[in-house]
Amino acid sequence: MTSNKLTGTLLACLCSAVSFAADGIMQFSFPECIITCIQDTPVRHQASLFASVKGTPLPTKQDSFLSSINLFLLEKNGERFLIDAGNDQRRGSLKGKLETLKIEPSTIKAVFITHIHPDHVGGLLWNNAPLFPNATIYIARDEYEPWQKDTRRAALATYLKPYQNKLQLFDFGNPLPGGLIPIKKAGHTPGHTVYKLALSATDIAIFVGDILHAVELQVPHPDFCARYDSTPAEAVKSRLEIYGEKALLFGAHFPFPACATITPAGTGIYTYVPFAK
């Protein structure tokens, strides 16, 4: 990490308070909270998945890019929250990772969804029943209402209907439990949400969801979008806005352990700086 992104105090805290709990689990300790990155599924994305909104050819001969499917556990003031839930039990590993951490799913107070795609809501169920029986599921109204009209995503109701009585729709800008501030960064989906969290008086973390899918490609070339993006031009705009944040970023598709900064390296040029213990 570079000092122009985060204060020296926070960097020192991070460097002295990061632990590996197990394969696919990494914990980051801050004065008021713990953030645990859980790798739900390791993946590579094929280069053919990406195209530029400018129509320019792929700037590399690579046939695939390192990625990951990650979700995040936030522990603060004695309460536990998840940001996203990963894939369903056929492909995901959330339940097993929580067992490794000795965390009972019933102790999760809330799950904050960045957007309604299978690798973000599939892990809400286990054996067709809610894995988190005591959790409230938070979804942006701007995401939920367009999803209801999206026939391509209709099957994902399987994962949300069991939580119908625990579903909380929210509008952007108002604080949520745990101190998370939801911010609309659309383009991947109509109501794609990132969550901002104060780590100190001067430092913030942002859980950026699917702002990008392949850091090797999309950090140096932010005009490239995955075909999953519903409105690519808007996705590029949201991506560049996040690249301009002075924050510690936690990404659903950053290579594990999914904690990094994105540093300006010139006009329109950015560098991905992963956290390294």
Residue 155 domain-assigned (yes or no) = yes
- Whether residue 1 is contained in a domain is answered as no
Contact 245, 207 (CB under 8 A): no
3 part of a folded domain: no
Nearest to 45, CA basis, from 63, 71, 61: 63
pLDDT, tens digit (0-9, with 9 covering 90-100), for 96-127: 999 999 999 999 999 999 999 999 999 999 99
Residue with tokens 């999206």: 150
Let me know if residue 209 belongs to a domain.
yes
The percent of residues in the chain predicted with pLDDT above 70, rounded, is 93
Sign of the dihedral through C-alpha 126, 208, 36, 175: negative
Residue 192 lies in a domain: yes
d(CA 162, CA 180) in angstroms, rounded, equals 24
Strands 136-140 and 181-184: unpaired
Q: Is the pLDDT of residue 232 over 50?
A: yes
What CATH code is carried by the domain that includes residue 57?
3.60.15.10
Q: What pLDDT band is residue 6 in, cutting at 50, 70 and 90?
A: low
Q: Which domain holds residue 124?
A: 8-274
Number of domains in the chain: 1
